[in-house]
Amino acid sequence: MSDDSRPAPAAAARTAAVIPAAGRGVRLGPGAPKALRSLGGTPMLIHAVRAMAASRAVSLVVVVAPPDGAAEVKSLLDAHALPGGTPSGSWGRTDFAVVPGGESRQESVRLGLEALPPGYDIVLVHDAARPLVPVDTVDAVIEAVRDGAPAVVPALPLADTVKQVEPAAVPGDPEPVVATPERARLRAVQTPQGFDRAALVRAHETVTGDVTDDASMVEQLGLAVVVVPGHEEAFKVTRPLDLVLAEAVLARRRLNDGF
Ligand code: CTP
Ligand code: MG
């Protein structure tokens, strides 16, 4: 067997992260687009980019900005670049790019994927709205993709029991319960989700229905999706109370870091 017939070593695969940040944040209430709202004095998006750049494996971050906000996001990233005067478009060893997003999260992710240069065989998709995900979670996702899974999602067991209902025609009316899935077998899914790039690109070219995460698109292709342990600090900032929790997590980190 010649060397050429062997697959390239998995560790050589380069990893890029796509960060959809083009949403308005309607559930958070009136104000700036959610990704640009401040958390501990720094825009949420900057926290999310730092969380990806914190992984030594991630060498490119593509931010998908609000459709009319790409220039603003680009200057924001330059302004928050690591100290040491790195050139525009990079944070130390991590390059970044900004593209305008679309109407849906799905479309925004697709636009981010289209902006990826060749050479990145592993792609993470990470919500800007999950600014506090720890680097260990990011690395665990990447490692599972390197180990051969076409799609990897971090997830946690549920605290609440979940009911499937027949949605009421009039909001607020009582809703009949249809089923109660066994809680021990359910997981609440977070990001970053990690993918073999070719599988994710094919999923975005093939799957047309509405989805709320990228892994479910790969699932629809019939490919294996695996779950690795998520982290409670990877929660999504969705409603006003989530901002309170995020500020508290940051305050706890500052205390622990001795600031
Ligand atoms: N997102 C995106 N493009 C869209 C919609 C959402 O890039 N057209 C991104 C958001 O910026 C966010 C992530 O997808 O980082 C998860 O979406 P969600 O938490 O629903 O954020 P929003 O859509 O901004 O919030 P809401 O649904 O309350 O408006
Ligand atoms: Mg949304």
Q: What is the 3-state secondary structure (H, E, C) of the chain?
A: CCHHHCCCCHHHCEEEEEEECCCCCHHHCCCCCHHHCEECCEEHHHHHHHHHHCCCCEEEEEEEECCCCHHHHHHHHHHCCCCCCCCCCEECCEEEEEEECCCCHHHHHHHHHHCCCCCEEEEEECCCCCCCCCHHHHHHHHHHHHCCCCEEEEEEECCCCCCEECCCCCCCCCCCEEECCCHHHCEEECCCEEEEHHHHHHHHHHCCCCCCCHHHHHHHCCCCEEEEECCHHHCCCCCHHHHHHHHHHHHHHHHHCCC
pLDDT, residue 228, reads 98
* Predicted pLDDT of residue 6: 54
Regarding the beta carbon of 77 and ligand 1, being less than 6 Å apart is answered: no
30 in contact with ligand 1, CB cutoff 6 A: no
| 123 confidence band (pLDDT: 50, 70, 90) | very high
User: What is the pTM assigned to this prediction?
Assistant: 0.93
Interval 140-185: pLDDT, tens: 999 999 999 999 999 999 999 999 999 999 999 999 999 999 999 9
Two structure tokens written together for 6: 């062997």
Class for the domain spanning 14-153+188-257: alpha beta
Q: What's the pLDDT score for residue 5? A: 55
Q: What is the pLDDT of residue 82?
A: 58
pLDDT of residue 2: 44
Average confidence (pLDDT) over 55-68 = 96
Listed by start position, the domains of the chain span: 14-153+188-257
Which residues lie at CB < 5 A from ion ligand 2? 23
Mean pLDDT throughout 242-256? 96
Q: Which residue is closest in CA terms to ligand 1's atom 16?
A: 127
**Is there an atom of ligand 1 within 6 Å of 231 CB?**
no
Question: Which ligand does the CA of 237 lie closest to?
Answer: 1
